Amino acid sequence: MTGPQHGPEVTQEQSPGLSETGVPAEAVDAPLDHRPGTSGVATPGGGWRKADGPSALKREKRKRKGGGRRGGARDGDPTVGDADFQSYYGRQIVKSAVWKTPDVPLYLFLGGAAGSASVLGAMAEFTDRPALARTAHLIAGGGAIASVGFLIHDLGRPERFLHMLRVFKPTSPLSVGSYILSPFSAFTGATAALHLLGQVPAVRGSSGWVPRLVRSVGLRRTVGVAGAAFGGPMAAYTAVLLANTATPSWHEPGDQLPFVFTGSGLAAGGGLSMVFTPVDQAGPARKAAVVGAAVELVAMHKVEHDHGIVSEPFHIGRAGTLLRLAKACTATGAVGAAVLGGRRWGAVASGVLLAAGSALTRFGVFDAGMASSKDPKYVVVPQRARMAARAEAAAAEAAAAS
Amino acid sequence: MTSISSASPAFTGNDPENRLFGPLPDVTGEAGYEDDHPARVGFFTDTSVCIGCKACEVACKEWNTLPMDDADGNRDAMGLSGMSYDNTGMLGANSWRHVAFVEQSRAVDLPMPSIGLPAAPGQGTDGGGGCGGSCGSAESPSHGAADGTTVAQHDVLNAQALSSFDPQTSQSADREIRWLMSSDVCKHCTHAGCLDVCPTGALFRTEFGTVVVQDDICNGCGYCVPACPYGVIDQRKDDGRVFKCTMCYDRLTDGLQPACATACPTQSIQFGDLEELQARADARLATLQGQGVETARLYGRDTDDGVGGAGAFFLLLDEPEVYGLPPDPVVTTRDLPSMWRHAAGAAAMLVGIAVTSFLGRRR
Ligand code: SF4
Ligand code: SF4
Ligand code: SF4
């Protein structure tokens, strides 16, 4: 906000308050729409209020119902919820993502699980844990191929999937992600195929050069490592994919979501590997899963508590339920893996819990973002607070300069 | 041969400062066009003269053969929104202009110090007590009073000015009624979130500095939809691709004005070179404020704002959110470098944890 947006009187009305305290008192205490520097008038809004809308009862209903369907409520009530803010008939301001559920949350889950499993698998190849290597690579390859399927299915024009690869744009996480997912799915898919083909009797018994190549440990290790190189980015980029939008509850925690997603990916990849691997080889998967679950819980706690009103959608509604369930599963699974992971049934139970927790986290985060886009409160209130903070900083600076 | 990039100016190599946000004097040149490209064009929508006729909506629908939809964007559905004269509801894939209708009222007996305005008395007291040398001459005579009278008088003046100069105000019994009407449109942002995130390059910057979707490229990934800080662009469900205002790219290349601006009977929608429009808007704002319409303000005019200034900007008579506009929009890519850094850290952490879990005692 610079010169032209303020009438000359604005400065006059505000300056008295400033010259005394250096900080405009109104900036802190006044209701949001009365803050100086926002409304730009001496008498805020000139006294105009939304003409009488429908009954307060209806308003209450809308409030309890929460977000509601796309397009918001039509009850003509400008101030919805507890926070003091104005809106256009309670309608949403930013558009909700058009991504389908469960496609995209599942894609996020599988990408994380496959990403961490690819690294576990590659390491297992080199440390003489054939069963773990096989399981992890099958999870990685299967997850990656399924991811590609979900991603393509989610496109409005699936036949144009390859248009993703006609440009490379670092400003587009989906473009970057396409260049991560393509080689990742190719390499992990190939590694998994090598594992599977190696088991086929015809290949095992034959001495032709193709079967020998398929059985070659060197090839499998090379392709496995190539896939694993994209494993970390694969699990992390999907967080940026969500965060780099105008959806309030995805954008604000943008620096923490990558840690939620990679932690959750480790928990899922490690957990699933535990389920299908004999316990004597599954030690590393267990450790990785437990540490990953801890990272997920800590990072998710920050997402849920560090962002004021924008953290709210993580606690309420369907997202809140999903995330509470997710936490219960992840925490139980992590403790179970640490304590009982050495026994077969314990490993299976805790592995399943960890994977379920990871999946629920993705669904919960996805839902929370969708809910935050549907209520104008999450757009207006934080932006107003930002403007007020800016005005305050500018005022403080001006006071310091004079 | 120059290459037109659909990447953000920060990555085309044309911008030495790598700007993902902030002012960009030559947005067209930054996108890779030669120096002789046309000047950047835009819209100045002066809502103070909008009469809500929706001629712009109709003209846009006709020119671009947009399908019918209801207030929630459902194709081929007809329905009344039930909230106001606004049955278009919102900008979307099938509505590239949207006239917002806001009905407001206020009590007429304004010489009360505050009409439902808790802050007003406080302001009056502050004004009386601490008016230093910085008080302007226009106000200073009345500023000595340490009660609400200052504000009250101010209100009366303001109210009279508003009712005599604001064509959207009229009186009804003990209340004054005004209709705020505003024709919303894609802002053709200097830093367009939709363009930044498009993975196919379907969205691009035209030689006029506008932002347009190439519908033969778009694969309907839908990323641009939640990336727009104004909620403009949307997907046509049955088609799969996304659609939004093109600023009538087809008409511009033929030397015509956009259909909506041509149809507007009150010149509420003014089309032209952006720089000229900005000057015109500044003058209009000064005029209105000189007449006492203090609620007037420009929206999207400031090149220091979160999107580097909008190609389509507005003169509003109330807070942006009253019209359904975000009060302080920021292009999401401004924060992307930080997100990428954190993602790199998180990816490294994943690999680190996975690798180190193989160390130590073998079990
Ligand atoms: S307003 Fe939205 S759709 Fe229009 S250019 Fe800006 S970001 Fe893109
Ligand atoms: S939906 Fe189309 S225009 Fe939008 S980001 Fe995807 S490819 Fe680009
Ligand atoms: S410029 Fe053209 S496409 Fe854009 S709103 Fe106006 S008529 Fe529609």
Average pLDDT along chain B: 82
Distance CA B224, CA A174 (A): 10
Min Cα separation B120/chain A (Å): 7
Query: Is residue A140 scored above 80 in pLDDT?
Result: yes
Chain A residues with CB-CB distance to B83 below 8 A:
74-76, 89
Chain B residues with CB-CB distance to A16 below 8 A:
126-127, 129-132, 134-135
Query: Is residue A377 scored above 90 in pLDDT?
Result: yes
Go through chain A and tell me how many residues it has: 402
- Convert the pLDDT of each residue in B174-220 to its tens digit: 778 888 999 999 999 999 999 999 999 999 999 999 999 999 999 99
Nearest-Cα residue of chain B relative to residue A173: B197
For ligand 3, atom 1, name the residue with the nearest CA. Answer: B247
Pairing between β-strand B169-172 and β-strand B175-185 as defined by DSSP bridges: antiparallel
Chain A residues with CB-CB distance to B229 below 8 A:
94, 246
pLDDT tier for residue B6 given thresholds of 50, 70 and 90: low
Q: Tokens 């006029």: give the residue.
A: B208
Query: Is residue B136 scored above 50 in pLDDT?
Result: no
Residue range A143-150: mean pLDDT, rounded: 94
Spell out where chain B has E strands.
41-46, 97-107, 169-172, 175-185, 203-205, 211-213, 234-235, 242-243, 269-273, 297-299, 312-316
- Convert the pLDDT of each residue in B220-258 to its tens digit: 999 999 999 999 999 998 899 999 999 999 999 999 999
pLDDT given for residue A294 in this prediction: 96
Chain A to chain B Cβ contacts (< 8 Å)? 415
Query: Is residue A26 scored above 50 in pLDDT?
Result: no
Query: Is residue A15 scored above 50 in pLDDT?
Result: no
Q: Which of B186, B195, B218, B225 to mutate to test the pocket of ligand 2 (most atoms within 8 A of CB)?
A: B218
Q: Are A94 and B194 in contact (CB under 8 A)?
A: no
* Chain-chain contact of B297 with A48 (C-beta, under 8 angstroms): no
CA of B304 to the centre of ligand 3 (A): 26
CA of B242 to the centre of ligand 2 (A): 7
Query: Is residue B163 scored above 80 in pLDDT?
Result: no
Question: What ipTM was reported for this prediction?
Answer: 0.82
Query: Is residue A33 scored above 70 in pLDDT?
Result: no
Residue range A21-26: mean pLDDT, rounded: 38
Which helix H or strand E contains A108, and what residues bound it? helix A103-126
pLDDT tier for residue A133 given thresholds of 50, 70 and 90: very high
Query: Is residue A44 scored above 80 in pLDDT?
Result: no
Residue A51's region, left for phi above 0, alpha for psi from -120 to 50, else beta, is: beta
DSSP state of B258: P
**What are the beta bridge partners of residue B181?**
B101
Residue range B309-334: mean pLDDT, rounded: 94
Instruction: Give Cβ neighbours of residue B131 (< 8 Å, ≥ 6 apart).
Output: A15, A16, B140, B143, B144
Q: How far is CA A186 from CA A116, A147, A220, B158, B356, in A?
A: 16, 12, 13, 69, 26
Chain A residues with CB-CB distance to B301 below 8 A:
4-5
Domains annotated for chain B, with CATH where assigned, are 27-104+182-334 (3.30.70.20), 106-178 (no CATH)
Average pLDDT along chain A: 83
Query: Is residue B309 scored above 90 in pLDDT?
Result: yes
Instruction: Look up the pTM and report it.
Output: 0.82
Amino acid at site A345: W
**What are the beta bridge partners of residue B185?**
B97
Min Cα separation B248/chain A (Å): 23
For ligand 2, atom 2, name the residue with the nearest CA. Answer: B218
Residue range A136-164: mean pLDDT, rounded: 93
The closest alpha carbon to B40, from B278, B233, B331, belongs to B278
Residue B113 in contact with ligand 2 by CB distance below 6 A: no
Min Cα separation B357/chain A (Å): 5
Our separate counts of H helices and E strands in chain A read 16, 1
Task: Identify the burial level of A170 via C-beta atoms within 10 angstroms of its C-beta, where 0-12 means exposed, 13-18 middle and 19 or more buried.
Answer: middle
Min Cα separation B155/chain A (Å): 7
Task: Identify the burial level of B315 via C-beta atoms within 10 angstroms of its C-beta, where 0-12 means exposed, 13-18 middle and 19 or more buried.
Answer: buried
Ligand 1, residue B193: give the atom nearest the CA.
7
Determine contact: B126 vs chain A, CB below 8 A.
yes
Distance CA B245, CA B233 (A): 8
Distance CA A116, CA A135 (A): 12
Query: Is residue A31 scored above 50 in pLDDT?
Result: no
Residue B302's region, left for phi above 0, alpha for psi from -120 to 50, else beta, is: beta
Query: Is residue A1 scored above 60 in pLDDT?
Result: no
The closest alpha carbon to A123, from A284, A264, A269, belongs to A284
Query: Is residue B112 scored above 50 in pLDDT?
Result: no
pLDDT tier for residue A186 given thresholds of 50, 70 and 90: very high
Determine contact: B178 vs chain A, CB below 8 A.
yes
CA of A255 to the centre of ligand 3 (A): 37
Distance CA B333, CA A244 (A): 6
Query: Is residue B10 scored above 60 in pLDDT?
Result: yes
Q: Are B201 and B213 in contact (CB under 8 A)?
A: no
Query: Is residue B37 scored above 80 in pLDDT?
Result: yes
Residue range B328-332: mean pLDDT, rounded: 95
Distance CA B358, CA A287 (A): 8
Domains annotated for chain A, with CATH where assigned, are 103-370 (1.20.1630.10)
Q: Which ligand is nearest to the CA of B232?
A: 1
Amino acid at site B223: Y
pLDDT given for residue A35 in this prediction: 35
Query: Is residue B39 scored above 80 in pLDDT?
Result: yes
Nearest-Cα residue of chain B relative to residue A375: B324
Residue B44 in contact with ligand 1 by CB distance below 6 A: no
- Convert the pLDDT of each residue in A196-247 to its tens digit: 988 888 888 888 888 888 888 899 999 999 999 999 999 999 999 999 999 9
For ligand 2, atom 4, name the residue with the nearest CA. Answer: B224
* Chain-chain contact of A76 with B285 (C-beta, under 8 angstroms): no
Distance CA A262, CA A295 (A): 8
